[in-house]
């Protein structure tokens, strides 16, 4: 295995960490209108934001690291991706900025109107990336019009094909489920009961939508060994349904994590050795070899990653351990039906 293969796997791992960790952050924001209503709605929404308060910004670092790794290890992939997918990636960036500002400033002014506008920003900044990340990665796997000069020559609406839209629906519903399960794991009392109920309602549609996307991916783009990954993802989703109905949110969270990680493995496994297939001519596709940096750059990056990655992961794991206690909503006595 050469360094190009190593860094392809590392980029996949970094995006997996981002979608697993930031996925439940998005899910919490997406579920604000559902779980944050009723007589104690304001207190509920504050408790929901407290559940991710110590970790959400650390979770976003995975995206920054993945983007940096992509730029340094596969500069041609980075350049073609960010120029060809400029509009959807810009929308993701703007949504993330709105979300960051809303989270950071939510507690700066103690009025219901201010918190309401911030909550709208959080909801918007959670739904838009949750959908568009699925659209983007589905298009990467499907292939896009790339010419001999490694330039994307399609338009924005070329990205809105049925497969990509199903990918967007998959990430949206799976992240919403992941967030509901996380809230069931991190909260107590009526809010936890309602999060469990919401997870039950989302689990079967998530199984259907994500299962359809995974099967389409395998049949259209998969290889022999990715059938195993597909089976793992499908089994994980089935177990999630069972665990949500059994109110075993700890195991449900484990298996939503497995389902997300398996789906990313399916996408990257179906892509390899390409990094952006060309629908105009396979010879014009970007691969791990013709889109990568030089050997010296990859060697230096590998040593740096080997030293720094364990430190970062240990620190982030310690953060989750410190803030592991459940959160309750003061004054709430009876569950609010969802």
pLDDT truncated to tens, each residue of the chain (338 aa)?
A: 789 999 999 999 999 999 999 999 999 999 999 998 877 788 899 999 999 988 988 899 999 999 999 999 999 999 999 999 999 999 999 999 999 999 999 988 888 899 999 999 999 999 999 999 999 999 999 999 999 988 998 888 889 999 999 999 999 999 999 999 999 999 988 999 999 999 999 999 999 999 999 999 999 999 999 999 999 999 999 999 999 999 999 999 999 999 999 999 999 999 999 999 999 999 999 999 999 999 999 999 999 888 888 888 898 899 889 888 888 886 665 544 44
**CB 125, CB 131: distance < 8 Å:** no
Under DSSP, is residue 267 helix (H, G, I), strand (E, B) or coil? Answer: helix
pLDDT at 42: 86
Sign of CA dihedral 265, 267, 270, 276: negative
Q: Quick check: helix, strand or coil at residue 127?
A: helix
The Cα 184–Cα 201 span in angstroms is: 13
CA distance linking residue 281 with residue 145, whole number of Å: 9
Q: How far apart are CA 287 and CA 186, in angstroms?
A: 42
Cα distances (Å, whole numbers) of residue 292 to 139, 267, 288: 20, 19, 6
- Asked whether the CA dihedral 251, 256, 257, 262 is positive or negative, the reply is positive
């Amino acid at each position: 295995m050469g360094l190009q293969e190593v860094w392809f796997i590392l980029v996949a791992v970094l995006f997996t960490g981002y979608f697993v960790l930031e996925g439940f952050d998005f899910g919490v924001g997406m579920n604000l209108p559902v779980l944050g209503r009723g007589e104690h709605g304001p207190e509920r929404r504050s408790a929901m934001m407290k559940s991710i308060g110590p970790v959400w910004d650390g979770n976003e670092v995975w995206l920054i690291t993945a983007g940096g790794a992509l730029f340094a290890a596969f500069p041609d992939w980075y350049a073609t991706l960010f120029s060809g997918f400029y509009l959807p990636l810009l929308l993701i960036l703007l949504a993330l900025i709105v979300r960051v500002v809303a989270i950071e400033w939510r507690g700066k002014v103690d009025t219901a109107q201010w918190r309401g506008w911030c909550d709208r920003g959080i909801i918007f900044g959670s739904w838009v990336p949750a959908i568009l990340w699925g659209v983007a990665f589905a298009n990467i796997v499907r292939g896009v019009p790339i010419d001999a000069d490694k330039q994307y020559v399609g338009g924005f609406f070329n990205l809105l094909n049925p497969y990509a839209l199903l990918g967007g629906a998959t990430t949206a519903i799976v992240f919403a489920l992941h967030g509901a399960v996380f809230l069931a794991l991190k909260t107590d009392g009526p809010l936890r009961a309602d999060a469990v109920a919401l997870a039950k309602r989302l689990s079967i549609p998530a199984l259907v939508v994500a299962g359809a996307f995974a099967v389409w991916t395998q049949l259209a783009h998969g290889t022999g060994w990715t059938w195993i990954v597909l089976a793992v993802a499908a089994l994980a989703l089935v177990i999630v349904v069972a665990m949500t109905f059994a109110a075993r949110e700890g195991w449900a969270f484990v298996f939503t994590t497995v389902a997300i990680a398996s789906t990313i493995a399916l996408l990257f496994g179906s892509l390899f050795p390409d990094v952006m297939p060309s629908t105009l001519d396979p010879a014009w596709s970007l691969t791990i070899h013709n889109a990568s940096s030089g050997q010296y750059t990859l060697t230096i990056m590998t040593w740096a990653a080997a030293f720094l990655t364990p430190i970062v992961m240990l620190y982030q794991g310690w953060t989750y351990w410190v803030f592991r206690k459940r959160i309750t909503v003061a004054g709430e006595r009876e569950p609010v039906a969802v």
